[in-house]
Chains A and B, each alone.
Chain A
Amino acid sequence: MNRVSLKIVGASGQGIISIGEILAKAFKRSGYCVFGYREYMSLIKGGHGSYQIDVSDRMVRSSEEKVNILITLNHHGFEENLNDLKDGGIIIHDSPSWDFSPADEKLLKKHNITVLYLPVGEILQKIKAKPILGNVVFSAFAWSACGRDTDLLKKMVGEKFAKKKDLLEQNMQAIDEGGAYRMQHASDFAIDMPHPDDKWSDHLLLTGSHAMGLGIVHAGVRLYAGYPMTPSSPLLSFIAEIQNETGMAIKQAEDEITAAQMMSGANFMGTRAITATSGGGFDLMTETLSLDGIIENPSVFVLAQRPGPATGLPTWTAQGDLLLAAFGGHGEFARCVLSVSDSDDAFHLVNDAFTIAEEYQTPVILLTDKHIAEGIYTQKPYDQKKTAIKRGSLVTNAAELRTLKSTDRFDPDVPDGISKRWLPGSEAATYVAQGDEHSADGSVDESSVNAIAQMRKRMKKMEAMKKALPEPVLYMTGENGNVELSPKNDKLDLLVVGWGSSIGAIQDVLESKALQGKRVGYLHYQYLWPLKTERLQALMDMAKKTIIIEGNAQAQLAMLIRMECGRSIPEQILKFDGRPFFLNELTTTLSSRMK
């Protein structure tokens, strides 16, 4: 597969994102699949951040470690990023005088790297434009260096500034100048791009947060309560941004406890409500999680992971909160933990989370992470036909409501522990959603008999849920979607097990040449707790070797697997430095483990 990557580096606030977004969109619209990845520090101005886009005519879901083009908006790129370039790569910069050290000169020569100076300041002066337009000059230069026609860039920027005549003209000039400079001074240096494929041009270009936001709206969620915390904040921002179109009620709460309580109260009343936070905020929500467990309240918590403990690495990624999601909160109660993997299931799993929450009347934790929340994906427009809004055993029919007794609400003798649920304001017998241990109508009952009956009722739901949840999905090289293998006839050289955002890099490795000739399966978990292990165990028995890949230090999924079925997965590839798995890195590691 032919893939090309560009990385824009500089200080926060210099316009890294702006260039990244212009180029990503331009590539996507010209028929390329784009995957974008941002790195930055927890500050508003300064620091050293990056925006990388990987581009191909075929599906890309991860970032390469080394790029073809490095655009550096200040001299820090020379100090920090020279090793990030592939052989034959290009550096585009606007630092008028920079002397490379002899060691760096040697490095550049060894890897045949070209350094191209783009006098952005002079160009802006010539067209009398503000410094902010330097981003457009850079973009046009890089676009041209990839052999692309500037017309598309002009059309795209034109759409953005259609109503601002002055800005529009200056933007057009900036594009012309950036393109012209490249033709005059660097026409020899062009990046060899694959042929575009038109199928990508109608795809969406969006972040995982956009995807989840669309999923939230689509699932009929009508209230969002949240408190800002990276990497959940982009979701809050997006949901807030589109509120006048969606008609949703949005509350930026005074803290995460409030957000969780408002979400729970709104779900209790009978709408669909959601909250999102990261690890520290989730800690504050766990008392509410426990409450939703005992009052059997459908509730959905999005937990967007970043590395902890405490504030940890605020703007980086992790898969370190799986055990927190599975076990956070005091007492024992039924719950479900799901994890999204990319922009596709970030959309679809929202409705799944609510279906489970309403069917089993439990809290559901929907995991995501910084890599997904801020990753930029090329996504096929979502198929909205297959979505069904299912509300479990909710009673709304007037005639049936009249037949209900208060004791139907928490009746411990119902099959699977799933009792009838009806909403405040319904003309029916009333009950109390009781945080104390309670009998069938919610009255406090501390007797031994009742405590056992109600605990069993609630935990039975967990068993029923476990039976009903889908098994993990098996991906095989060269085959689409979920693959079925026969334990009798099939053998695997390698079984890879994983969950969450690492799927992107893993699938890209499977599709690369690195593992050609080997029969490799990737078993991917979206439904993590309660945990199904039958399929996993069958596949482990068919595989010469099993390796688990996780973005945490303890192999938390492997811990849950061992706990559930006693099977150990001692071969582990773990990463806990805040960075996602990169394509080349994972290819090398997996290849070496295969030997």
Chain B
Amino acid sequence: MGIKLDSSGPSMQDFHCGNKCTWCDGCGDYGIWTAVKRALVESNLHPWQVLLCYDVGCHGNTSDKLLGYRFHGLHGRVIPFAAGAKLANMKVPVLAFGGDGASFSEGIGHLVHGIRSNYPITFVLHNNANYGLTTGQASSLTWQDQKMNSAPNGMPEHTLASMDFIFSLEPTFVARGFSGNIPQMTTILKAAMQHRGFAFVDLLQACPTYNHFATHDYLLERCYEVEGHDTSDFKKARELAVNTHDKIATGILYQNESQPHFYERLVPRQGKATTLVEEVVKQDVSGLMEKLV
């Protein structure tokens, strides 16, 4: 790897934005923010060539901390917005970012159908296992019995088995990274952007203020990069993804490029070289009218 020194290509500086970061010291968002910019640069993309869509949460505050065409929308709803945007212009790479609260509570239905529809977008889960921006309430990925804001006795519900759930949806791309490992996240994100369909990227991140169980040190100690793993082996990938008790496997865990994505499956779009954006012109409906006489 390495950043291209060729002056014609994009640089990290091109994505630089003057706004100051507002995350807590030690927040995992810094690492992810850096890895995203690096992945875009290494993919040879200029800011004007991408659309970055953010959900609501601490990660959503990235929306004005880098350049690129960006969108910062409603809580839980980033996937359908990003999918609609992508279908409109297949030439623009679209990345969507959401936290564990947005993706596994408020907008879980969209995650299910995003994977099921296999939209050709990259979805990055900022997984800090709690609601940071609203000051530390439990999410469905918070460990059970943890005492959290609004749950002084610990959450009564059990923790959602997120990876088992994701694999039950027959995804075509699953990867996991850790906010302390920027080079690996960069590699994962670049591969995710190249993926044919819906790429699910789970980035485990520290929340130094509210998450006192899966801390940066905890993750640093347990996360390891998988080596020699056959990413086409669904069963093995699922095992690696689910078994996180002692060690946490990171890297690209599963990829299946044989499945056409949503747009490829749309019969009316077969063989069309133009995008929906390019097709906004007055359409003649004489033929359709004739059938109604």
Using a CB–CB cutoff of 8 Å, the interface residues on chain A facing chain B are 202-206, 210, 214, 217-220, 222-223, 225, 242-251, 253-255, 257-259, 261-273, 287-288, 291, 295, 381-382, 384, 387-389, 391, 423-436, 438, 442-444
Contacts and interface: CB of A to CB of B under 8 A. Distances in A.
B191 interface: no
Contacts of B268: 243-244, 246-250
Contact of B81 (A219, A250, A262, A389): A262
Interface in B246-293: 263, 266-269, 272, 275-277, 279-289, 292-293
B238 interface: no
B35 interface: no
A427 B51 contact: no
Instruction: Please indicate which of the listed interface residues A214, A220, A242, A430 has the most CB atoms of chain B within 10 Å of its own CB.
Output: A430
B29 to A, nearest CB: 15
B283 A246 contact: yes
Contacts of A262: 80-81, 83-84, 87
Contact of A288 (B74, B89, B112): B74
Given A225-B84, A254-B109, A389 B282 contact: yes
B272 A434 contact: no
Interface string B221-255: 00000000000000000000000000000000000
Contacts of B112: 254
Contact of A432 (B64, B82, B86): B64
Interface in B53-104: 53, 56, 61, 63-64, 67-74, 77, 80-89, 91-92
B168 interface: no
A219 B283 CA distance: 7
A272 B277 CA distance: 7
Contacts of B86: 265, 269
Nearest to A394: B280
B72 A432 contact: yes
B277 A271 contact: yes
Contacts of B263: 249
A266 B267 contact: no
B73 A424 contact: no
Contacts of A225: 84
B267 A220 contact: no
B81 A271 contact: no
A432 B70 contact: yes
Contact of B85 (A269, A288, A430, A442): A269
Nearest to A387: B282
A222 B276 contact: yes
Given A220-B279, A389-B281, A424-B51, A271 B64 contact: no
B91 A425 contact: yes
Interface of B: 17, 19, 46-51, 53, 56, 61, 63-64, 67-74, 77, 80-89, 91-92, 109-110, 112-113, 263, 266-269, 272, 275-277, 279-289, 292-293
Contact of B292 (A204, A249, A258, A259): A204
Nearest to B271: A247
Given A288-B74, A291-B74, A443-B64, A265 B83 contact: yes
> Nearest 5 pairs between A and B by C-beta?
A265-B84, A262-B84, A424-B69, A261-B80, A269-B88
A270 B84 contact: no
A293 to B, nearest CB: 12
Output the residue of A220, A262, A288 with the most chain B CB within 10 A.
Answer: A262
A291 B75 CA distance: 11
Contacts of A267: 88
Nearest to B61: A444
A434 B70 CA distance: 8
A202 B47 CA distance: 54
Contact of B272 (A247, A251, A389): A247
A273 B84 contact: yes
23 contacts: A204-B289, A218-B282, A220-B281, A223-B84, A225-B84, A245-B287, A246-B283, A253-B80, A257-B77, A261-B73, A265-B71, A265-B85, A272-B280, A381-B289, A424-B51, A424-B89, A425-B277, A432-B64, A432-B71, A435-B56, A435-B72, A442-B72, A444-B63
A443 B61 CA distance: 10
A336 B95 CA distance: 31
Contact of A295 (B71, B82, B267, B293): B71
B110 A254 contact: yes
A222 B87 CA distance: 10
A536 B283 CA distance: 36
A265 B50 CA distance: 14
Contacts of A273: 84, 88, 276
Contact of B80 (A220, A257, A442): A257
A142 B132 CA distance: 71
Nearest to A207: B292
Among B48, B91, B110, B269, find the residue whose CB has the most chain A CB atoms closer than 10 A. B48
A270 B89 contact: yes
B89 A269 contact: yes
A125 to B, nearest CB: 35
B77 A261 contact: yes
A400 to B, nearest CB: 14
Nearest to B92: A425
Which of B74, B81, B293 is most buried by chain A, counting CB atoms within 10 A of its CB?
Answer: B81
Among B72, B82, B113, B287, the one with the most A-chain Cβ atoms within 10 Å of its Cβ is: B72
Given A246-B283, A384-B286, A265 B82 contact: yes
B88 A202 contact: no
A130 B276 CA distance: 46
A435 B74 CA distance: 7
Contact of B48 (A253, A381, A425): A425
A245 B285 CA distance: 10
Given A265-B82, A426-B48, A434-B72, A220 B280 contact: yes
B148 to A, nearest CB: 25
A244 to B, nearest CB: 5
Contact of B267 (A243, A265, A428, A438): A243
A235 to B, nearest CB: 14
A217 B281 CA distance: 10
B293 to A, nearest CB: 6
A589 B279 CA distance: 50
A436 B88 CA distance: 24
A273 B87 CA distance: 11
A255 B89 CA distance: 23
B64 A427 contact: no
Contacts of B84: 223, 225, 261-266, 268-269, 273
Contacts of B288: 214, 217, 242, 245-246
B64 A223 contact: no
